[in-house]
Structure 1
Amino acid sequence: MSTDTRSTPDHNEKSQHFQAPVDDPVAPVPHYPGENTNVKGELENDVGSLEEEKVDESIRLVPKIVRELVSMDDDPTLPTVTFRYFLLSFIFIALGAVISQISWFRTTSASYSMFFVQIMSFWLGNLLARILPAKEINLYFFQFNLNPGPFSIKEHVLITLAASAGATSNLGEIIVSVKDIFYHEQMHPLAAIFLMWATIWTGYSFAAIGRSFLLYDPDLIWPSALMQTALYRTLRGENHSLDISKKQIRVFWYVLIGVFFWSFLPEYAFPFTSSLAVLCWLAPRNDTVKFVGSGLGGMGVLNFTLSWSNITSNIMVSPWWTQVISFVAFVVSVWVLVPISHFTGAWGGRQFPIMSNFLYTANGTRYPFRELTIGGHFNETRFHELGNVYMSTYNLWGIFFGYATFLSAFVQIFLFGRKKIWSTIQLLRQKKRHGFKDRLNVLMAQYDEVPLWWYILLFVCCFTTMIVLIFTQDLYLPWWTYVVGVVLGGLTVVPMGFIYAVSAYQVSTGTWNELIYGYMAPGTHPVGSLVYRVVAGQCWYRAQSILQDQKIGHYMKISPRATFLSQLWGNLIGVPINYAVIRWVIDTKRPYLDGTEDDPLKQWTGQAPRSYLNQGIQYGTVGPTRLFQDVIYGPLRWGFLLGVAAPAFIYLLHKRFPRAKFNLWHSTIFFSCMENFYGNVSTGPLSSFIGGFFCMFYFYRYKHAFWVKYNYIVGAAADTGLSLAILAIFIIFGSGKIIEMPHWWGNNADSVERCFGSGDA
């Protein structure tokens, strides 16, 4: 993770600042592999700006990449929570809550980009600043000014943070929807809304565990937060001189408009461009070539894509070392293990379709899960008649590496990050806010921190609400398993957070959590398994997103309390809208969602709730004890040993050969990437790897000034253009009267990438 070979001083009581240990690859550092990491050389070569301008020591403690993108000044008098903030945040929260919740039930959907919110709120905020009267409004309890002056960058940031929190589908939707769609158990509206608030705010309270470890450390750069910060400042012309800022804005709009119009081709009119299967062009009627070369259900060897949706701005956000690990994992999984299993039959590779994620009986037919429950409880007699549940070999090693991932994260953080964590704990024991004296932390010290009791009160309210709902709303899980889920969910925040903060890679914990619940409470209703999964696993994901938004607030010098309350405000508005949309969709599309009727347009299929239902039945109802009684599941237990042994082995190699950079090979990220299922779309990794090489290695290392000016701006513009294009396609061709693209050479009815097997027409 770091090529830093300089000596690092121990914690200094006088400066109250400590740096990441040299041998700490899980701790984010201010450098990417390949960069000159000598401090003196870095400062001398940084265009001479630091020494020439006689920058004080606090700025020198800020990582170089952050110095280049984040302002080192602050104006605490700028307005933050204003009438404009409440008006615009409400609009963008409501719009996003509707779009994202509808999308959750559909096969194809329109994403709701935060970059879109950043741009539109910037325009509308400045418009309101021009047209609203500067009038004082007195509401007895408080008073405010409709127009306190120019639209400030802090208002702009808080609007987006509120939308980021509330303008997405929430976690509790899984429980509410599965109960209603498949078991006709409609929760009381208030109970459903409080369930959604309780689950999502449990994740917020988890964020308190990680703040001291993950938020203040300047070396934890949070790459995705840096991208949004760069866009805020570019829109306002703050990053560079006026001429350069104008060029940045022009480039931003050129890329946005270009990607917007181009996306109509791979996403609708010319889908051939989304998967360029080169091998299939050489032998279009060969079954083996189709399996190897196809990126849609095949291995995707030498398969390229011209669709930004298969690449995304991740290639401009994730450090190069992360992208290398991810691509190596893809090659091992899809280009090595898949053909070995498929062509040799190893680990049952010929018994079931290897690139499928369905579950099967022993004879290869789809497993009838509905027959396993009677009145929501396990039907053991029918299970013995149907036999065990089987899956593709691809899914088997996904589970294997899923087990390794979870344990690897804890071993990794202990071996490589224990010094940093212990230093933070020591400061907390001394009741010090934190030990960092870099410029950003110095500027933020003037703002009141969010008191710990706010997080504790929020957690207590959520915990009490969930206990009441468990006993009154048929959530089907033993109450004590909920307590276990809360504890395990909280334990994952710091180790998983360290990984995300440095790599922008979110580690999945779902497989492990399902296994734990399956052993604790086998034979229970699938909804119980889903409740546990939401608390133990997905609440961590919400904690990660909240911490990232708080890091944005840190970079933009927003009061921590204003950031925290904006996040609560976002959910306070978004969750009831989410529930209203859920009710509308289920009431109007139920026959399609529960499978009693086929949607002729293949859109209202409810793939997400059905997938969660299947997993709930597999682990909660059948249970791992019954599931793993077959010999084919035997090798999975070795995943636990691998998760412990691999990071320990890498640590020993790093200590023995410190200059060989073994610490860059992060076993947790590798295992998590091996867990990914590429069976449906494997056309993006090769193109992403090539794009990442240019963006995060070549341009970063050899064209660094150009990279600073345009890398994040181009990524944000491309993502925004794609989101707007998908939204336009959804509205124009799919929301009212469905208009399907006619079949032609670039949209072949049998294979859009023109990978025909011997039996295809």
Structure 2
Amino acid sequence: MENTGISAVESSADEINDSPIEEVRLTVPITDDPTMPCVTFRTWVLGVTSCVILAFLNQFFGFRQNAIYVSSVSTQIVVLPIGKLMAAYLPTKVVQIPATKWSFSLNPGPFNIKEHVLITIFASSGSDSSFAVSIITMMKAFYHRDIHPLAALLLTFSTQMLGYGLAGIFKKFLIDSPYMWWPSNLVQVSLFRALHDVETRPKGGLTRLQFFITVLVCSFAYYIVPNYLFPSITALSLLCWIWKDSVTAQQLGSGLKGLGIGSFALDWATVAAFRGSPLATPAFAIINMLIGYILVAYIALPIWYWTNLFDAKKFPIFSSHVFDSNGHEYNISRVLNKKTFEFDQQGYDSYSNIYLSTAFVYTYGLNFATLTATVSHVALFYGRTIWEQTKASVQDKFSDIHTRLMRKNYEHVPQWWFYLLLVIVVGVALIACQGFGGQLQLPFWGVLLAVLLSLFFTLPVGVLVATTNQQAGLNVIAELIMGYMYPGKPLANVTFKMYGLSSLSQSLMFLSDFKLGHYMKIPPRSMFMVQLVGTLLSCCVHFGTGWWLLTTVENICNPSKLPEGSQWTCPGDDVFYNASIIWGVVSPRRMFGNLGIYQAANYLFLVGLLAPIPIWYLGRKYPEKRWVSLINMPILISGASGIPMVKSVNYVCWFAVGLYFNLYVYKKHKGWWARHNYILSAGLDAGVAFMAILCYYTLQSGGINGPKWWGLELDDHCPLASCPTAPGIVIQGCPIFQ
């Protein structure tokens, strides 16, 4: 019930040890009220409902050109008035569950902040679209093959749940340590406080809640322009307007198909769609990424292309497709046996090696380097701390006031819960892969190897996310391993990748939500239960939504056959499909191995492994030089690793907005930043999401895609940017160079 006479538990004067991270000190309160009810009737009703809706929307919008992500922040906003209405009108009667000793009240008192947090965590469990649906999409929309619905459902369930068992192993290091501060969670902490704290409006200003509502309304009203009336402002490329007939100028200036020099956007979705909100990323991480992006996009990539290294001029400078030696898109049917769905060596020998655009080669090389740099960086900078925490697991040496309050007031989650869950989900994964005629091609040892791979990388990648808000994925290394061990099997390759990538991603999501609950003082067992139930529900919704769209939307994921203005282009799944060709069909040996063209990319594994060493050495030798400690080589190397799926205009806008707020505003107007920065981020995200949903269901779902004019095209009007510049290459719509 609501607390009426017991004051909040606060740290005593001699116990105060607030967070060592300034952003946390400015945002997270050091108080707790353990008598406040959390798991209530309202929590279940609103949590289940919001989880299902969010899972549906994000899977639904994941097929769009600008894949709008409806975060759990939207749920945070919507459930508050509903929760208060339930508290005002539901009866307080206690309901007895038949044949048990359990009972509950429909209305345990005023709607409180802990209920609100648990509902948001419930929703967060369904907030990400399922990786398994990408495999189903690839099979049905790109390879035009069938998959048994039950196999697809078990695949969805196992990929979503596998990471939870792994997360429990590292919870102590990534949650209890005050140095693992998970920056993105501060957005939600700020919003919770704005929605629940009693605040007096400052003279001439706004309360945080008033500020949030103002931003939400403005963002909502404005987004009808880029989403419906004028989609072309999602990417404006000035150089293309000036030099309409120059391939080189458009390669340099295109924000979608080139280097993005002079490009910009008037759309928050362009800023935040792929890299997340820049307002939630620390300034030092943004600067590291910016340096890495400039070194690659504006120096290394142009040198590679214009010196024609590996015949780069035969292909677009910026593309996620794969090509043959004549500069045309690779005809996969010539190297894939339709009956066995395996690599056709004879067809390959009579056709062509596989080529990539310059940007795509850099994507893989940077991913090689980022992964080894992450392991090296964490070992050098955090290895001693992790080892000492392991030895002193029962001591408070590495705790702060938040960790001590959680230990004092609540029961922890037993480790055997995580281990049991891990065993069950691995069993389901084996059934999905081995049963149903082996449709997924992955042998049993592939499932076990994927689990071990994720187990190895969860800690180093988790440290990176918990300190910089940027994540290194396992997709490339997983593709590389399975491509060498089991070549010519595209479905085995992508399934192995999904088990490795998804288990890591789900581990990090679980840990991030646990850290949010840690900051907001939610009982750990309640968090575990809510996340588990939420993920089970979301698995069913993700599968159902994906299956429904793939079987009802005509020509989905085929832009050449879709009507003008249609959003169903599946850009993420297109990259996923092309990766399956590179790693699964042709195999990495014919790409990056002794039979391939891009063998030199393998040296980047070594470059990444060694890159953090000089920074670590300088930091120890010159500890007074604070700027040295801010250099983070995994983040710097990964600065441009999202290309070509993340377009240049996305990067340019993300850097500009992030540096303005988290460098300039943070230094010059810290009071405003502390009050409003994260709330601004939440309001912009929520406004975009609500308008996108409204537009789709009221207009676009009925085929009303906006007024017919040049601005309706979801393009930056740089048609020549994707043209090759090598002599003699003939591509429709492109000039032929001599």
| Residues 1:713 and 2:682 are matched in the alignment | no
C-alpha separation in 2, matches of 1:678 and 1:56? 53
Letter in 1 for 2:120: T
Structure 2 partner of 1:656: 621
2:289–2:639 contact (8 Å) kept in structure 1: yes
TM-score (norm 1): 0.86
Question: In the alignment, which of 220, 228, 243 is matched to residue 180 of structure 2?
Answer: 220
From 235, 254, 257, the equivalent of 1:294 is 254
Matched position secondary structure for 2:220: helix
Check if 1:77 corresponds to 2:35.
yes
SS at match of 2:95: strand
Equivalent position to 2:388, from 408, 419, 423: 423
Counterparts of 1:593 and 1:405 in 2: how far apart (Å)? 33
Note the 1:546-557 alignment, pairs <5 A. Answer: 546-557=510-521
Asked whether the 8 Å contact 2:234–2:267 carries over to 1, the reply is: yes
Structure 1 pair 752–634 and aligned structure 2 pair: CA distance change class (3 A): closer
CA distance in 2, matches of 1:749, 1:122: 35
Give how far 1:291 is off.
2.4
Distance 1:327 1:383, change over 3 A: same
| Corresponding position of 2:370 | 405
Contact residue 348 and residue 632 of structure 1 kept, 8 A: no
Residue 251 of structure 1 deviates from its aligned partner by 1.3
CA separation in 1, counterparts of 2:636 and 2:491? 31
The aligned counterpart of 1:383 is 348
Q: Is residue 368–residue 605 contact of structure 2 (8 Å, CA) maintained in 1?
A: yes
Q: Distance in 1 between matches of 2:42 and 2:463?
A: 35
Label 1:595 to 1:724 Cα distance change in 2 as closer, same or farther (>3 A): closer
- Pairing 1:199–2:159 present: yes
What is the aligned partner in structure 1 of residue 658 from structure 2?
692
Is contact 2:720–2:734 with CA below 8 Å preserved after alignment?
Answer: no
| Residue in 1 that maps onto 2:691 | 725
User: In the TM superposition, what whole-angstrom CA distance separates every residue of 1:622-644 from its partner, at most 9, and x where no partner exists?
Assistant: 21112334563121121122012
Q: Contact conserved, 1:285 with 1:757, CA < 8 A, in 2?
A: no
Matched letter for residue 258 of structure 2: G
Which residue is 2:320 aligned to? 357
Query: Residue 648 of structure 2 aligns to a residue in which SS?
Result: coil
Q: Partner residue of 1:370? A: 333
Task: Report the Cα offset of residue 604 of structure 1.
Answer: 3.8
Give the drift of 1:752.
Answer: 4.9
1:523–1:621 CA contact under 8 A, matched in 2: yes
Cα 1:318–1:529 shift into 2, 3 Å? same
Task: Kindly indicate whether residue 91 of structure 2 is the aligned counterpart of residue 133 of structure 1.
Answer: yes
Give runs of aligned pairs for residues 66-465 of structure 1, distance below 5 A. 66-140=24-98, 141=100, 142-181=102-141, 182=143, 184-189=145-150, 191-237=151-197, 241=200, 243=202, 247-280=207-240, 282-312=242-272, 314-371=277-334, 372-374=336-338, 375-428=340-393, 432=394, 435-445=397-407, 446-465=409-428
Report Cα offsets for 1:239-279 as digits up to 9, x if no partner. x5565996212211111111222222233323454334344
In structure 2, the gaps of 5 or more residues are 1-10, 724-732
Quickly say closer, same or farther: Cα 1:606–1:755, change in 2 above 3 A: closer
| Matching residue's letter, 2:210 | R
Q: 1:282-333: per-residue Cα shift (whole Å, max 9, x none)?
A: 5455443322222121211132322111223632111111101111222222
Q: Tell me the SS of whatever aligns to 1:348.
A: helix
1:127 CA drift (Å) = 1.0
Partner of 2:452: 487
Q: Which sections of structure 1, spanning at least 5 residues, go unmatched?
A: 1-52
SS for the counterpart of 2:16 is: helix
* Structure-2 change in CA distance of 1:373 and 1:593 (3 Å): farther
Native 8 Å contact 2:46 2:119 kept in 1: yes
Q: How many residues align?
A: 701
Query: In structure 2, what is the Cα distance between the partners aligned to 1:630 and 1:340?
Result: 25
Could you tell me which amino acid in structure 1 is paired with residue 56 of structure 2? Answer: V
Q: Does 1:505 align with 2:470?
A: yes
The answer on whether the counterparts of 1:291 and 1:298 sit within 8 Å (CA) in structure 2 is yes
Q: CA 1:760 to 1:186, structure 2 compared with 1: closer, same or farther past 3 Å?
A: closer
Within-5 A mapping of 1:569-588:
569-588=533-552
Instruction: Look up the equivalent residue of 2:535 and give its one-letter code.
Output: N
Question: CA shift at 1:688, angstroms?
Answer: 3.0
Equivalent residue letter for 1:385: S
Contact kept in structure 2, 1:111 and 1:726, CA below 8 Å: no
Distance in 2 between residues matched to 1:605 and 1:748, nearest whole Å: 13
Task: Provide the rounded CA distance (Å) in 1 between the counterparts of 2:561 and 2:70.
Answer: 27
* Alignment match, 2:431: 468
Structure 1 residue 620, shift from structure 2 partner: 2.2
1:37 paired residue number? none
Other structure's SS at 1:58 match:
coil
Give yes or no for the alignment of 1:673 onto 2:639.
yes
Aligned counterparts of 1:308 and 1:606: Cα–Cα separation in 2: 20
CA spacing shift, 1:285–1:756, aligned 2, 3 Å = farther
1:220 offset after TM fit, Å? 1.6
Root-mean-square deviation (CA, aligned residues, Å) is 2.8
Q: 2:476 aligned with 1:514, yes or no?
A: no
Contact 2:321 2:578 in 1 (8 A): no
Q: Is the 8 A contact 2:257 2:722 kept in 1?
A: no
SS in 2 for 1:223: coil
Equivalent residue of 1:659, what SS? coil
Aligned with 1:561 (options 518, 525, 550): 525
3-state SS of paired residue (1:144) = strand
- Counterpart of 1:644? 609
Equivalent residue letter for 1:503:
T
Residue 502 of structure 1: how far off its partner (Å): 0.8
- Please tell me the residue identity of whatever aligns with 2:222: W
Alpha carbons 2:590, 2:596 under 8 Å: kept: no
CA distance in 2, matches of 1:61, 1:399: 37
CA distance in 2, matches of 1:678, 1:84: 44
Moved more, 537-546 or 722-731: 722-731
TM-aligned CA deviation for residue 751 of structure 1: 4.8
SS in 1 for 2:62: helix
Quick one: structure 1 residues 250 and 732, their matched pair in 2 at CA, closer, same or farther if it must change by over 3 Å?
same
Q: Go from structure 1 to structure 2 and tell me whether the alpha carbon gap of 1:734 and 1:666 turns closer, same or farther (over 3 Å shift).
A: same
After superposition, give the CA deviation of every residue in 1:601-631 in whole Å (9 maximum; x if it has no partner): 5444454444433322321232111233456
Q: Provide the rounded CA distance (Å) in 2 between the counterparts of 1:264 and 1:418.
A: 49
Q: Structure 1 residues 188, 685: CA separation in 2 closer, same or farther (over 3 Å shift)? A: closer
Change (3 A) 1:413 1:750: closer
In the alignment, residue 627 of structure 1 is paired with which amino acid? Answer: M
Please give the secondary structure, in 2, of the residue aligned with 1:137: strand
Aligned to 2:727: none
Query: 1:108: Cα distance to partner?
Result: 4.7
1:95–1:633 CA distance, 2 compared to 1 (3 A): same
User: Do structure 1's residue 542 and structure 2's residue 502 form an aligned pair?
Assistant: no
Taking structure 2 as the reference length, what is the TM-score of the superposition? 0.89
Question: CA offsets per residue over residues 63-101 of structure 1, 9 Å max, x none?
Answer: 332232112111111111111111111211121222222
Contact 2:278–2:658 (CA<8 Å) still a contact in 1?
yes
Q: Which amino acid counterpart does residue 724 of structure 1 have in structure 2?
A: F
